[in-house]
Amino acid sequence: MLVRLLETPSPTGFTEQAVALVAAELEALGITPARTRKGALTWEVPGTGEGHVTFSGHVDTLGAMVKAIKPSGRLLLSALGGYDWATVEGEDVLVHTQEGRAITGTVVNVRQSTHVHGPALRELRREPSVMEVRLDEDTRSASETRNLGIGVGDFVSFDARPRVTPAGYIKARHLDNKAAVAVFLGVTRELLGAPPARTVAFHVTTYEEVGHGAATGIPAHTDELVAVDMAAVGEGQTSSEHHVTLCVADSGGPYDHALGNRLRAAARRAGLELRIDLYPYYASDGTAAWRAGGDYPVALIGPGVDASHAYERTHTDALEATATLILAHVRAGERSGAPEA
């Protein structure tokens, strides 16, 4: 399911196909999800007792829009989401036209050939003005490109290139945050077979990469919100591609301490090695929900993902650990605000 999601283009603002794929999977399980007017998807699994916990993830990804058509017929881009232009250089793309065509191309820079430009290529700073899409069409002018149906404002998606290795690693763009959405579907199947102690909601947003995904749409009866997103792996971090992480603070400040402790307790009950981390250049749907006035505790967990916002990698160990932590937490029967033993 994760590979299918990764292969479905869904840059921020252009997520309908991915949302429809998730909805179809839920309907096959006998669940009819609700759609918000903003495009998010929500579904619930009723619990056997009181309390309501919501897990939020996002299906939108990094991407771009056509900013301009150059006299050469190539395209200037405007970024959707926060990434360095060097991380998409050489990537295959689809340009999604208003007529429904998907035209292939590649992100290149204006000095791409070392045989033509020599050291000037290595000295080039990767920024929007020097990056362009080379279309796989016979076009050499702006008018010829417009005749293909391409226009300013068309969405551009990056090829995710998903790969599952024999050792259990998953490599792709956009594991942030389709990995969490795939985990939600797996957890939902488990909960349908063994109802949780509390009612569990899943809220999949479509504008997280631009900062306002969960600003609306969180179920009104939510007692606590757990955002599930990637845990960034790298120098100076404790997160691992083989573990689930509890992020206790990011650029939006600290998350709820008591809810974090309940998740720590759930990890201990499940026998998980829970990593604890902070991310200074990170924000989540939990941050967006709080800034929009959400009156509930918020925590952030997720599988470790290497090379975030580039060609990412995780391991099935981390996905399984994330699912295990979610299940342990919702089956504990603890309500928001319960004291930690």
Catalytic residues: 208
Listed in order, strand segments (DSSP E) in the chain are 34-35, 41-45, 52-58, 63-69, 75-80, 92-96, 102-109, 131-135, 155-158, 163-164, 169-172, 199-205, 224-228, 231-233, 244-250, 253-254, 275-279, 298-306, 312-315
Which DSSP string do the residues of 125-194 spell out, in sequence order? ---GGGEEEEESSS--SHHHHHHTT--TT-EEEE----EE-TTSEEEETTHHHHHHHHHHHHHHHHHHHS
First to last CA, the chain: 38
H helices, E strands: number in the chain: 9, 19
